[in-house]
Amino acid sequence: MATMTMIQAIRSALDVALGRDENVVVFGEDVGYFGGVFRCTEGLQAKYGKTRVFDTPIAEGGIVGVAIGMAAYGLRPVAEIQFADYVYPGYDQIVSGAARIRYRSAGDFISPLTLRMPCGGGIYGGQTHSQSPEALFTHVCGLRTVMPSNPYDAKGLLIAAIECDDPVIFLEPKRLYNGPFDGHHDRPLVAWTGHPRADVPEGHYTVPLESAAVFRPGRDLTVLTYGTMVWVAACAAEETGIDAEIIDLRSLWPMDLDTVVTSVKRTGRCVVVHEATRTSGFGAELAALVQEHCFWHLEAPIERVTGWDTPYPHAQEWQYFPGPDRVGAAYRRTMEA
Amino acid sequence: MPAYPPLSLHIPEPPGRPGVPTDFSYLKVSPAGAVRRPPIDARPDDTMDIAESLVRVLDDDGEARGPWAPAADPALLRRGLRTMLLTRAFDARMLIAQRQKKLSFYMQSLGEEAIAIGQALALAPDDMCFPTYRQQGILIARGYPLVDMMCQLFSNPRDPVKGRQLPVMYTSRAHGFFTIAGNLGTQYIQAVGWAMASAIKGDTRIVSAWIGDGSTAAADFHNALTFACVYHAPVILNVVNNQWAISSFQTLAGGEAATFAARGVGNGIASLRVDGNDFLAVLAASAWAQERAHRGCGATLIEWITYRAGAHSTSDDPSKYRPADDWARFPLGDPVARLAQHLTRIGAWSDAEHASTQAEVEAEVMAAQKEAESYGTLASGHVHDASMMFDDVYRDMPAHLRRQRAQAQGA
Ligand SMILES: Cc1ncc(C[n+]2csc(CCOP(=O)(O)OP(=O)(O)O)c2C)c(N)n1
Ligand SMILES: [Mg+2]
């Protein structure tokens, strides 16, 4: 065991995967010599060589396209998109290519690739370094979409993603890279050091895909969330004194419906929290699933706390970000309903 | 079939790394005055030799040579030099202000000022520019108020983009400066669309499009070349080859096998490869390209050779990936020093004037900063009211955003 930040845990996952399987290749913009703008691949080129860890041209469509070709050949490409906000030139390759190759060839070809991309706000990145585009991927059949909330899960999920035969979109909440973040941006930074979820085995392990975690058990209401918002949701529970059961979905789609349904049936109340914009966000799917599976157990309307339906602003970042006050207010409304 | 050897993957290497001094022989530099100047209506394929050499006017002694030496008015050159000094002083002050957290982020244009400023001076004021984040020189050359630039940088209540964009993402329709995109390359094909619109409407305005060497890898670059070729769009397609794209050397965009200018020729576009640190060459090549666009001869691609002297941005640390003394050893020198040398040589500048101009532009920047700071900075928390983040998503705010705005205000 070692204490790792989320960056170190991701690097460790890549290191383990590169070491165990010579078909694993890692690439992306600034990923090779430099080690990535967030340093997630630092040292890996020196260790595994320039044809296994390398830099690419600035062409996201090209990055995804070559990943598909390599994956079809039999490699296990792990490509980095420098920011999720820059994935769009690769979207056609993801939707029309990676997601459908198995289906359209009836399994003759597959796309076992992993696309890592930092997402989310909280770093004054403005509208092109802050987006949470998960719903653009959960909407596409054939993709798996994953978002960890801590170093332990990040490593285990990333190894599981790389070993998975399906294409996986691996979203990394950048605000969690160096420490947990409860939404109180005006308080001192908290590091991962000493945090139980930063205790990460150095070797190989996986956190299975399609499995959610009960991040905080509770009796009053169920919170369905993922990524940075797991920490915000937990903070809101402490601050309101409402005993929220917080479910960290980890795998957004396909997902662990049993854990969700069991919890909501028990608490009878449900709040969905995500940082992405509201309309047609993944929260809409979650609310629909809860309604379909738990309607007769619900004692209150399902609440959604999300980013507003605007691009992510720069100076007004903290009015945009759904912080603990907004989440806590939703808990109260849900309890009072 | 013969027995072939096993294949291997080619990974391009930069000519220098920390601890390994850069071998700049890769640059292919032509002597000043050596490259021919084709007629304005040259066929695209008749520019291949120019796309593979380097148009230069100023020699090592600051003398203007050859067919590209423009009949430039010394007053225009002096204006260019002053604008470069002003831009450099502006960048230097804003870097300090960023360290003081008055702005969240900054990107300087150190070392490549001549290109944006020279082209701005060669264009008509109403010709449209589609810049990247490194062409602040265009705005400054066109007289956009420094105070307004700083208000954008400080995200204060006078920020023309209402605090919505990262610092340096300026916009000014009035100054022919298209809103800067964070998504690399997107502006390049949009510029071609603007140029096509000007042609569709029978207008006389042309367009200046900008992209970095690294971003030429993006599909939008290739789309732009195709559309510009097909429709003979009146556009100057500038490629600023400052050798680096964050940590990636220009070979990672394909600069190893062919020049960026040669890509233009291959796409049916007349193309020039030009010394971007030679202010006179910038003026002359820009004038050639704009003349072609106006005369209906179509697009011109210009690859400008320069060097990104500073870090990519305030979030970057170039000492991790390139030698620290690269800029000092860059064969094409510093555009400011080279233009000053030329003007001094023709008796239109002096050391004393250089010093007094330097003091003048610094005072101008300081005064602008003082005023801009009086309206607030990100550090002081004086920013646009949060409710304004719901404006401009649509022309008229739909019901769902009015509802969300009310919620955000705690209603
Ligand atoms: C589509 C997209 N991908 C990646 C990025 C991240 N990024 C910002 S600037 C940059 C390097 C651009 O280099 P270049 O085009 O050479 O311009 P320069 O910075 O040298 O002026 C990268 C990779 C981005 N902004 N947009
Ligand atoms: Mg560059």
Calculate ∠ Cα B316-B318-B322, nearest 5°: 155
Q: What is the DSSP string of B393-411?
A: SSSS--HHHHHHHHHHTT-
**Look-up of token digits 């964050």:** B246
Give me B247's structure tokens.
């940590």
Query: Taking CB atoms and an 8 Å limit, are A128 and B383 in contact across chains?
Result: no
Q: What gap in Å lies between CA B236 and CA B123, rounded to an integer?
A: 10
Provide mean pLDDT across the span B258-274: 98
Region A187-216: mean pLDDT is 97
pLDDT for B384 equals: 87
Chain B contact present for A41, CB below 8 A: no
Q: H-helix or E-strand containing B241? A: strand B235-241
B-proximal residues of A, 260-289, CB under 8 Å: 278-279
Residue A30 confidence class, pLDDT cut points 50, 70, 90: very high
Residue B401 to residue A278, Cβ atoms within 8 A: no
Do the Cβ atoms of B198 and B124 come closer than 8 Å? no
- For ligand 1, say whether the CB of B182 is within 6 Å of any of its atoms: yes
Atom index in ligand 1 nearest the CA of residue A88 equals: 1
Q: Which of B159, B184, B315 has the CB atom closest to A58's CB atom?
A: B184
CB atoms near residue B123 (< 10 Å): 25
Cα(B308) to centroid(ligand 2), Å: 7
Q: How many CB pairs under 8 A join A and B?
A: 117
Going by pLDDT thresholds of 50, 70 and 90, the confidence category of residue B383 is: confident
Q: How far apart are the first and last CA of chain B?
A: 78
User: pLDDT at residue A21 above 90?
Assistant: yes
Within-domain flag for B289: yes
Measured in whole angstroms, the distance separating CA A299 from the mean position of its chain's CA atoms is 30
Spatial distance between the Cα atoms of A186 and B175, rounded to a whole number of angstroms: 38
* B178, HSE (Cβ side, Cα atoms, 13 Å): 22
Residue whose CA is at the smallest distance from ligand 1 atom 3: A86
Counted residue by residue, chain A has a size of 337
CA–CA separation, A178 and B313 (whole Å): 21
Kindly give the residue spans of alpha helices, DSSP state H, lying in B184-322. Answer: 186-200, 219-231, 260-266, 279-294
* Sheet of B300-305, strands arranged across: B128-130, B207-212, B235-241, B300-305, B270-275
Q: Which of residues 63-102 of A touch B (CB under 8 A)?
A: 85-86, 88-89
Asked whether residue B390 is domain-assigned, the answer is no
Strands A199-200 and A144-146, by their bridges, are unpaired
Instruction: Sort out which chain B residues have CB atoms less than 8 A from A55's CB and list them.
Output: 11, 247-248, 252
Which tokens in the block code for residue B270?
Answer: 């007349």
Question: Percent of chain B at pLDDT above 90?
Answer: 96
Quote the CA–CA distance of B153 and B314 in Å, as a whole number. Answer: 13
Q: Is B404 in contact with A313 (Cβ distance < 8 A)?
A: no
pLDDT in the model for residue B175: 98
CB nearest to B247's CB, from A33, A128, A129: A33
DSSP B251: G
Contact indicator for A63, A40 with CB cutoff of 8 Å: no
Q: Based on the number of CB atoms within 10 Å of its own CB, is B5 exposed (0-12), middle (13-18) or buried (19 or more)?
A: exposed
CB B170 within 8 A of CB B178: no
Number of domains in chain B: 1
Contacting residues of B for A61, CB less than 8 Å apart: 219
Distance CA A268, CA A261 (A): 10
pLDDT value at B287 more than 70: yes
**Residue at B189 is within a domain:** yes
Q: Which residues of B touch A314 (CB under 8 A)?
A: 104, 155, 163-166
Nearest chain B alpha carbon to A53: B11
Could B247 and A315 be called an inter-chain contact, meaning their C-beta atoms sit closer than 8 Å? no
Give bridge partners of residue A199 from the DSSP assignment. A3
Looking at the predicted structure, is the pLDDT value of residue B85 above 80? yes
Domain assignment present for residue B404? The answer is no
The number of residues in chain B equals 411
Minimum-distance CB partner of A59 among B218, B321, B404: B218
**Cα distances (angstroms) measured from residue A130 to each of A82, A118, A319, B12, B315:** 12, 9, 14, 32, 15
> What distance in Å separates the CA atoms of residue A123 and residue A246, rounded to the nearest whole number?
25
What distance in Å separates the CA atoms of residue B260 and residue B303, rounded to the nearest whole number?
A: 6
Residue bearing the CA closest to ligand 1, atom 6: A82
Retrieve residue A252's tokens. Answer: 């957004």
For residue range A99-118, what is the model confidence (pLDDT) as tens digits? 999 999 999 999 999 999 99
For position B227, which CATH number holds? 3.40.50.970
**Would you name the residues of A annotated as active-site residues?**
129
- Percent above pLDDT 70 for chain B: 100
| Interval A197-220 mean pLDDT | 98
Average pLDDT over residues B53-73: 96
pLDDT of B186 higher than 70: yes
| Banded model confidence at residue A214, pLDDT cuts 50, 70, 90 | very high
Q: Report the alpha-carbon distance of residue A244 to residue A224 in Å, rounded.
A: 10
For chain A, first and last CA: distance in Å? Answer: 45
Q: Please indicate if any CB of chain A lies within 8 Å of the CB of B252.
A: yes
DSSP-H helix ranges across A131-279: 134-138, 151-163, 228-240, 257-267
Angle between the N-to-C axes of helices B335-345 and B279-294, in degrees from 0 to 180, rounded to the nearest 10: 100
What does the pLDDT look like over B112-132, one tens digit per residue? 999 999 999 999 999 999 999
Does A37 sit within 8 Å of B315, measured CB to CB?
yes
Q: How far apart are CA A281 and CA A285, in angstroms?
A: 7
At B124 the pLDDT is: 97
Q: DSSP class of residue B37?
A: -
Predicted confidence (pLDDT) at residue B289 exceeds the cutoff of 80: yes
Does residue B166 sit in helix, strand or coil?
coil
CA angle B89, B95, B96 (to 5 degrees): 95
Whether B163 sits inside 8 A of A316 (CB atoms) is yes
The pLDDT of residue B42 is above 70: yes
Q: Looking at B147-223, which runs of residues are DSSP E strands?
A: 207-212
Q: Which tens digits make up the pLDDT trace of A244-298?
A: 999 999 999 999 999 999 999 999 999 999 999 999 999 999 999 999 999 999 9
Which pLDDT score, from 0 to 100, does residue A1 have? 86
B2, B1, B26: which is closest to B14 by C-alpha?
B26
Phi/psi of residue A251, nearest 5 degrees:
-95, 115
What pLDDT score was predicted for residue B72?
84
Could you count the other beta carbons within 10 Å of the beta carbon of residue B231? 17
> What is the pLDDT of chain A when averaged over all its residues?
98
DSSP annotation of A218: -
Specify the ligand 1 atom closest to the Cα of A89.
Answer: 1
Whether this model's pTM surpasses 0.90: yes
Ligand 1 centroid–CA A19 distance in Å is 31
State whether residue B363 is helix, strand or coil. Answer: helix
What pLDDT does residue B109 have?
A: 98
Task: Summarize the confidence of residues B191-216 as an average pLDDT.
Answer: 98
Cis check: omega of the bond before A301, within 30 degrees of 0:
no
| Domain presence at residue B14 | no
In a domain, B23, yes or no: no
Please tell me if the CB atom of residue B310 comes closer than 6 angstroms to any atom of ligand 1: no
Q: Is B393 on the interface with A (CB under 8 A)?
A: yes
Closest CA–CA distance from residue A132 to any residue of chain B (Å): 16
Q: State the smallest CA–CA distance between residue A226 and chain B in angstroms.
A: 22
pLDDT of B411: 60
Cβ(B312) – ligand 1 distance below 6 Å: yes
The verdict on a CB contact (< 8 Å) between A128 and B182 is yes
Instruction: Let me know if residue B406 belongs to a domain.
Output: no
Minimum-distance ligand 1 atom for the alpha carbon of B186? 1
Mean of all residue pLDDT scores within chain B: 97
Q: Which domain range does residue B78 map to?
A: 40-309+329-380
Give a yes or no: residue B47 inside a domain: yes
Closest listed ligand to the CA of A128: 1
User: Distance, CA B55 to ligand 1 centroid (Å)?
Assistant: 26
- Alpha carbons B400 and B411: distance in angstroms, whole number: 14
Q: Are A331 and A236 in contact (CB under 8 A)?
A: yes
